[in-house]
Amino acid sequence: MADWMLNRRVLPWLVTLGAFLMWEGVVRTFQIKTFILPAPSLVATTLVAQWEPILQHSLQTLMTTLVGLALAIGFGVLLGLAVGASEKIYAGLYPLMVAFNSIPKVALVPILVIWFGIGTVPAILTAFLISFFPIVVNIATGLATVEPELNDLMRSLGANRLTVLRKVGLPRTLPYFFAALKVAVTLAFVGSVISETVAANAGVGYMMMVAGSRFEVPLVFAGLVVVGAMGIVLYQAFEWLERRLTFWAVRG
């Protein structure tokens, strides 16, 4: 087996398995009580035994996360283009955006609940709010760092701004966009689960909250495992897309 195959395909599983084994070992050795830290084997049996409600709540979380992320992509790309293309917009808007991004999003959930009620909408909006900033910053950076010679080349050919954006700006920004996307997708899960924990009646966050209040700690951990797994899958999906679309930026 080639070295890279070992690294890419086998190592992640080995390390994950090792971590779970260590966790299991610690729990057994020190006889830690289940309601403090359940063993991974118990978490696994819980996952199997209660798969139906877990699946339902997971799908809800997946949906709110993806819708929030989609909004963040749409809004973030547009705003990023505006900020990257115009120095005026950059100067005017950037401080406000930085200030907004410094606000802990969990503090916004109660306000969202007042506006939209308990449920799906606050979760989607929290996922959106937490994940759009890295997209804006990266798109803007990608656009702003286009080599001046490329702009000169296009202008000397008589290209208008839209053509320059389409032929140079957007493709040049794609690697930055994917870098942002990989950060944004994990943040979006943070946003939706936080919101579900505070104010929802469905989703993994809600499930964990309820399970915790009943001391069903293995179910709480099952929820964590599921969120982590969904994060990995989506991250991998974007990475696959990135490798296909921006191979030229990696150069072998």
Which residues bind to another protein, rule: CB under 8 A? 147, 149-150, 152-159, 163, 167-168, 171-172, 174, 246, 248-249, 251
For residue 23, with 0-12 CB atoms within 10 Å meaning exposed, 13-18 middle and 19 or more buried, which class applies? middle
Please report how close the Cβ of residue 240 comes to another protein at its closest, in angstroms.
18
Query: 107 vs 162, which CB is nearer to another protein?
Result: 162
Q: How far is CA 170 from the centre of its chain?
A: 22
**Residue of 75, 70, 171 whose CA lies nearest to 83:** 75
Cβ distance to another protein smaller for residue 86 or 163? 163
User: Shortest Cβ distance from residue 76 to another protein (Å)?
Assistant: 21
Residue 248: CB minimum distance to another protein, A:
5
| Cβ neighbourhood burial of 156 (10 Å; 0-12, 13-18, 19+) | exposed
Q: CB 18 → another protein: shortest distance, Å?
A: 39
Q: Helix, strand, coil proportions of the chain in percent (round to 5)?
A: 85, 0, 15
Which residue, 167 or 182, has its beta carbon nearer to another protein?
167
How far apart, in whole angstroms, are the C-alpha atoms of residue 90 and residue 85? 8
Query: 170 or 210, CB closer to another protein?
Result: 170
